[in-house]
Structures are given as structure tokens and as C-alpha cells.
Amino acid sequence: MSASRTYLSGVCLALGLSLTGCDTGDSLPRAGDPDRPLIIGAVQHVGSIQVNDQQLTTGNSQVTIEGSFAEVSELRPGQRVIMSTDSSQTIAIAIQYDANLLGPAANVSLAGDSEDPDQISLEILGQPVITDAMTIVQGAAPETIENDQLLEISGTRNADGILVASYIAVHGSMDYFKVIGEVTASDSSGFQIGDLAVDSRNALLFGFGIAGPTTGDLVTTFIETDGITGPDAVVAEEVQRIPGIRIAPDQHVRVQGYIGTFNSPENFRVANVPITTDDETQYVNGDVDALANNRKVLVRGTIDPVAGLLAQQIDIYHTRSIRVSAPVTAIDEAEQTIDILGLSFDVRALTRFDDKRDDTDPFGLGDLQSSDYLRVRGYADGDVLYAQRVRREDTRDRARLQGPVTAFDFDADEISILGQPLSLQDGVTVFEEADGSAISRTEFINRTARGVFIRAHWDHFGASTDPVDALRLIE
């Protein structure tokens, strides 16, 4: 294991990337190549590859997965990668993927929380993990994840140090366990990564000085499958220090992640990359007031040698689930889309279909008929809506639409969710708190802004142009 990983790390350095494991984005930049833009984020599509809304061809791409040469077809949507591209950002030169965590799940909770009832929380080797609406789960239904399952986790840490998973895969077996994280304490016997105590006295160490791993180092720790010695305690077989991503002045960078170390809207970090904004920074799906710790964003810009990444555009992500309950209006098997309540959802191989009306099994896109009553749960990634779960139910009179406010004009009794215009009507539309209790129209207006999640209710649904019966604040 050691020889092959050391060799491939050198290959990645030659391509302008960092050592194995750098895809976490949790390392500081170093000198790179201004003619090789970097893209750091979760895979959206594979074939040609799409990451951070950028589609790139991959005919001659150098791909490494877990330190071994691989094919583009072996990558999966949701896996967080680092890519170097040609100057036009249309050709992927090198693509590198390494999971943040490999190991057994512990303390699994499917209960969600007050802000996200769909959230799953768990731990792997002492590292806290949560999901958001964009998390892709492969190999099992999300609600069947349980303790002791062997999981592969890819994602990025938020401002609280919690790993927010963009990808979870369930494995039947593993050759080794692994943790990528920052050393939070060290002594003669080893070091800590958060709550995980690592005994590294007999481990192979790569990239360290004579003192070995020290506080602040970003490391990849490999553990034999029998190397767990107790709750949150392991014996390491190998530890690699991860140097910073090599980035040069004027190099173009796209980095997706959660805002952390938020000092001001002009000075914060995303995946530990320092970000600077100015009056020319453009915002998508929100404005400067939306910037805060733990807000998920995509930052596009160029490297300033003093200020870090000078943001030209910041896309603000909404990490809650999009939910729709209504009759389906169109199904396109060729394009793999479902149209419902004025919105179009892309269907992927990982989309789950359930039939609660007729118990059809197997059940999929080809079994749907126009006017079938569906519940769709998904998420917005840029301008695209992806369906995670589609459930057919008995026909109902009501309809529901939950998502972020994209526009509003209360003087004209209009509001839009995900670009879908909805009409309000005095004496018909009521306004509600998140718990369903009534609030005044004035209070609702005062708490509404672009990006705020709300739910529209129609109690007797005919068409989306019908006045909404209720608008409920979700956050």
C-alpha cells in the first residue's frame, strides 16, 4: 500500500495537484500554474464530467481514485474531487478522488433535527458526519443506514468541523479504514483527530519532520481493519502528511464548500481557502447578506497573492430538501425528467421510486402516467433540480410546494418559489409559522427574503395559478 500511494502522489504533484487526500479542500494553497485552473467540488455527472456546474471532456484525463490509476467511469456523482483543467476550462487534465472516511458507522441517528428533518447524523472513527439535501447515498436507502455498516464518506467540513457528506456508499467489506483530518493534539504515542486517538508509534510516516505529526497538520491515516482498539481509538498502519493545494497568482479557481471562519462578507474561508469579495462580486440565488458560517457556496474567482481567492461570483446553495406533492404533468423517459407543479426534476440512476398506490414492484419512471399523484423529494444544484425520491400515492385534492423564495412582490400579491410564480389573495391566503400557527401578513413579509424556505399549500388544488391557501415559513 505505501509504495503505490507514494508513487502516485508524486504523479499528482507533477500535474499541479497536491498529495493524495487533498480533495477535501481543507488545506492552504501553495504555488501552482496560472494556466491550469482548479475546480474543487462534488461530481454532478460522469461521462464527460461535470463539477461545480462546469462540463469538461475527459478523453485523455489522468484519473486517480484512492491513490490508484482509474477510469472516469469509476467516479460517482457526489464524490468530491479536485481537477486541473486546460485554460479554457473545457478539458479535464487530471481528476483526483479520495474519500474522507472509510470505516464502520456508529451513533447513527435518522431523527433529523429542527432545521432539517431529513438529516442523518453518524460517526465514523470519531468523526461526526451529517447529510444535507444534496447528499447522494449509494448501495442502500438512506433510512436503512445503521451502526456497524462499512461506509465510504466524501464531503467537506463545515464551520463546526462536522463533515457534511456529499456522497455515502455502503460497502460489504473494506481492505483498510481511513481518516482524513487535521491533527488537533499530539504526544509521543501519537495524535488526535478530533475525538479519535491515533497510536502512530509503529506506523509508516510520510512527509513529516523528525517530530512526526503535530497539531495543525492535515493528514491521511490508514488503519488495518483490526486496528480499532476501543471507542474512538485506533492503531495506525500508515500516516501521510497532506501539503497544501498548489495555487498560483492569477490562477482561476472554482471551490465549493461551507463557509467557515467568517470574519465579514469581505473576508471568510470556504474549504479553508481564504476568500475576498469586493463591489464587483456577483451573487446567484441570494445576495451578500446570505453569507455566514455554514452557508454552502460555490466561489469562482482568481488568486490574488495577498488577498487569497478574489471572488468574481458566489453561488449560494440551498441545502434543504425541495418537496412537491401534486399530480405529475409530464414524464419524459428519453430525457429522464418529471414535470410537476411547473417544475422539472432530473431523474438519475440513484433516484428511488416507490408505489404506495398500487404496490407495483419494481417501479420506475416508465410506470408513471400523466396525472398520477406524486410526492417528489429532491434538491437544487445550480439551475437543475434532481429527484432523490419519487413516491406515487392515492389521488388527493391538495398540493404542496416547498423550496426557496426566488422573487416576491407583495403589493401585487405575488411570490415565486424556485422561479414558479404563485398568487396570493386576501381572504384566502393565510400565513403560518413553521409549527403551523398563524402569523400576520406583515410579519410574514418582514421575515421573507430571497433564499428563505417556505411551503405553499393548496387545500383544493386545480392548477398552480390558483391562489395559495397557506404560506408557511420553514426557516
Domain parsing of the chain, residue ranges = 2-97, 252-316, 322-393, 399-473
Taking the mean position of all CA atoms in its chain, how far away is CA 72? Answer: 20
Q: Which residues pair with 421 in a beta bridge?
A: 416
* End-to-end C-alpha distance for the chain, whole angstroms: 47
Grid coordinates of 214: 503535530
CATH class of 322-393: mainly beta
pLDDT for residue 391? 95
What is the per-residue burial (b if ≥16 Cβ within 10 Å, else e) of 260-286?
bebeebeebbbbbbbbbbeeebebbbb
CATH class of 252-316: mainly beta
pLDDT at 437 over 80: yes
Q: Measured between alpha carbons, how far is 177 from 101 in angstroms, rounded to an integer?
A: 8
Mean pLDDT of the 53-68 span: 91
Q: pLDDT tens-digit profile of 191-217?
A: 999 999 999 999 999 999 888 999 999
pLDDT for residue 32? 59
- pTM of the predicted model as reported, rounded to 2 decimal places: 0.81
Averaged pLDDT score across all residues of the chain: 88
Q: pLDDT tens-digit profile of 391-422?
A: 999 999 999 999 999 899 999 999 999 999 99
- The DSSP symbol for 52 reads T
Higher pLDDT, 178 or 144: 178
pLDDT at 21 over 60: no
Mean pLDDT of the 37-66 span: 90
- CATH value of 399-473 in 2.60.40, 2.40.50, 1.10.3470, 2.30.110: 2.40.50
Q: Measured between alpha carbons, how far is 405 from 290 in angstroms, rounded to an integer?
A: 13
pLDDT at 23 over 60: no
Grid coordinates of 268: 471568510
pLDDT for residue 248? 79
Hey, do 2-97 and 252-316 end up sharing a CATH topology, with the first three levels equal? yes
Topology at the third CATH level for domain 2-97 = OB fold (Dihydrolipoamide Acetyltransferase, E2P) (2.40.50)
